[in-house]
Amino acid sequence: WRAANEAVEQGAVPVTTRAALLSLVALCRTEEEAETAARAAALLVNSHPSRAVIAVVNPHSPDEHADAFVSAHCSLTSGGARQVCCEEVRLHLSGPVVRFLSATVSSLLLPDLPVFGWVVGDPSVWNSTLREMAALCDKILIDTGELRNPMDSLLNFAEVITSAPNAVFGDLLWIRLEHVRSHLISAFDNPEAAEALHRAAEVELTVPSAFLSAALLTIGWLAHRLRWVPESRADADGGHLFRFRAEDGAARKVKLRLGGASDGAALFLHTRKQGGFRVELPGFGQEVLPTIESQGFLTPNPAALLCEALEYPGREPEWEHALLSAAGILRAPQNDSG
């Protein structure tokens, strides 16, 4: 900062302003994840200036090691007369010293400013750390779309949330799915379509297999909104079959079909019923309720997702309900007889 001020006095660069509205703690396992966090922090300088503490943690290393580096991300304002700069502190902790992660991060936080934690990559590898970090952070952001094994990890993460009732979490995948939910709500907005959805006996969801987390969260959200109680689950036809009981006691089922990567980032919903609200869809050979197709919902820039997530420091009850509902579905008895 001294060098920057000297350069300003000599007229070499625009006036430099150091700014921070929050502390951002990024938890990473690899240097690649750390670079992702650093690029996101640099892009947020104008909208959400912060002190970014990027921790690269390797608890399984046989060697104990700790170091830290400080740098700055700067961005010119629209007029070009001033540049806004934010600090990045990059930590490397390996081996037994990892147990001091929380204390080390705590000493680097800016006083009297909100603290956001961000788990970069697969959040399941941080389950044992999240409760401890929750004590430091006003909110912890994860991305359940990064889970390598969603069938197990969503269930485990739901247990982390319920065991830490005062902790506040958010999910970047939930943000990516926002317009999918909006499309579904709009499609069944009129009373006739809404009644047909509530009385539907079967829902079919088709997604590429890489987007299993998105599918499970969507099914959890739908089941919670419709007040369906999970009864059993089974593996079927390259996907999964989930059975529910509706409020009126009627049986409901959801077929989750997993396609290949060539199918693209698309989500389809088919709701079937006997009579009532129906439309003909080419290629399906039967009458079904409207098909909702949402393209490209899994590819926004991490910085754009993070920017939106930082606007909401509080709890996200709709996501929590969807996650806990999905966990209840995964906890249902296995019944491979179909």
Residues 50 and 119 in one domain: yes
pLDDT at 104 over 90: yes
Whether the per-residue pLDDT at 269 is higher than 80: the answer is no
* C-alpha to C-alpha distance for 106 and 90, rounded to whole angstroms: 14
Both tokens of residue 207?
């997604």
Domain boundary (112, 137, 171) is at 171
167/180 same-domain check: no
Query: Is the residue at 316 inside a domain?
Result: no
Residue 16 lies in a domain: yes
Q: How confident is the model at residue 284 (pLDDT cuts 50, 70, 90)?
A: very low
Distance CA 157, CA 117 (A): 16
Whether residue 145 contacts residue 217, with contact meaning beta carbons closer than 8 Å, is answered with: no
Q: How confident is the model at residue 66 (pLDDT cuts 50, 70, 90)?
A: very high
Instruction: Identify whether 306 is part of a domain.
Output: no
Q: How far apart are CA 223 and CA 245, in angstroms?
A: 10
Average pLDDT over residues 40-59: 90
Q: Read off the amino acid at residue 330.
A: L
Q: Give the pair of three-digit tokens for residue 275.
A: 């009579």
What integer best gives the mean pLDDT of the chain?
81
Residue, of 261 and 197, whose pLDDT is higher? 197
What pLDDT score does 193 carry?
72
> Are 150 and 270 found together in one domain?
no
Residue 318 lies inside a defined structural domain of this protein:
no
| Beta pairing class for 251-259 and 239-245 | antiparallel
pLDDT in tens, 131-160: 889 989 999 999 999 999 999 999 999 998
In a domain, 338, yes or no: no
Min mean pLDDT across 1-15, 33-47, 82-96, 159-173 is at 1-15
Phi, psi of 261 (to 5 degrees): -65, -30
* pLDDT at residue 84 tops 90: no
Tell me the residue range of the domain where 279 lies: 176-301
- Asked if residue 52 and residue 182 are part of one domain, the reply reads no
Whether residues 139 and 195 share a domain: the answer is: no
Buried b / exposed e over 77-86, threshold 16 CB at 10 Å, is eeeeeebbbb
Q: How does pLDDT run across 285-333, given as a tens digit for each residue? A: 233 344 444 444 555 678 888 999 999 999 999 999 999 999 999 999 9
**120 within domain boundaries:** yes
Q: Is 309 a domain residue?
A: no
In angstroms, the first-to-last Cα distance of the chain is: 66
Considering the domain architecture, whether residues 110 and 182 belong to the same structural domain is answered as no
Dist CA 292 CA 169 (whole Å):
29
State residue 291's pLDDT score.
45
Same domain, residue pair 142 and 17: yes
Q: What is the pTM of this model?
A: 0.84
**Parallel/antiparallel/unpaired status of strands 115-119 and 139-142:** parallel
197 and 152: one domain?
no
Predicted confidence (pLDDT) per residue in 17-41, tens digit: 666 789 999 999 999 999 999 999 9
Per residue in 221-264, pLDDT (tens digit) is 999 999 999 999 999 878 899 999 999 898 988 888 887 654 44
- In this structure, the answer to whether residues 6 and 79 fall within a common structural domain is yes
Reply yes or no on whether the pLDDT at 273 is more than 90.
Answer: no
pLDDT value of residue 203: 80
Q: Is residue 310 part of a domain?
A: no
Q: What percent of the chain has pLDDT over 70?
A: 79
Report how many domains make up the chain: 2
Share of the chain above pLDDT 90, in %: 46
The confidence score (pLDDT) of residue 83 equals 75
pLDDT the model gives residue 77: 64
Q: What is the CATH number of the domain that holds 151?
A: 3.40.50
The answer on 262 and 150 residing in a single domain is no
**Pick the residue with more confidence: 262 or 207?**
207
Residues 16 and 159 reside in one and the same domain: yes
**Do 238 and 289 sit in the same domain of this protein?**
yes
Alpha-carbon distance values, 28 to 35, 54, 67 (Å): 9, 7, 15
What pLDDT sits at residue 245? 94
**Element containing residue 171 per DSSP (H, E):** strand 169-171
Residue by residue, what is the 3-state secondary structure of 5-48?
HHHHHCCCCCEEEECCCEEEEEEECCHHHHHHHHHHHHHCCCCC
Q: Which residues contact 63 (CB under 8 A, 6 or more apart)?
A: 94, 95
- What strands, in cross-sheet order, belong to the sheet with 251-259? 229-236, 239-245, 251-259, 202-208, 268-272
Identify which of 213, 254, 212 has the alpha carbon closest to the alpha carbon of residue 233: 254
What's the CA gap between 120 and 81, in Å, rounded? 34
